[in-house]
Amino acid sequence: MLKLQELKFYFKYIHKQLPSYLLNWQIIPSINIHNYNTRAKDNIHTFRAKHEFAMKCLRHSLPNTINETPDAIKIKIYTHSLHGFIIYIKTCLLNNYSDICTLSHCYICQLN
């Protein structure tokens, strides 16, 4: 759910559908930080946080979510409407879930 909300926010940011104070955020590709040809040149630049609680803030968690999102989903930002993008994300995320529980000591599976 959190990943879906962050990707919806990013979609609205790209299409300038957010209030002006949120559009002033700097979501910067790493290629704009330096000109080196690195593996992460296409990723969004992540800023360092001084405290652990700051890592939960949208300003820090959004770049990580975008960088971890497959390119197939990120491309849909430019080709789909918001509604179509949401449906595509939900389909992709639900297809990645396994029907078999792999958690050790899962309290639900251990009830049997």
On average, the pLDDT of the chain sits at 79
Contact 36, 44 (CB under 8 A): no
Q: How many CB atoms lie within 10 A of CB 54?
A: 13
Contact 80, 88 (CB under 8 A): yes
Position 86: which residue type?
I
To the nearest 10 degrees (0 to 180), the angle between helices 2-14 and 82-95 is: 150
Copy the structure tokens of residue 14: 């790209």
- Return the pLDDT at 40: 58
Q: Check residues 34 and 55 and name the one with the higher pLDDT.
A: 55
Which of 20-24, 45-49, 86-90 bottoms out in mean pLDDT, i.e. has the lowest?
45-49
- Three-state SS for 45? coil
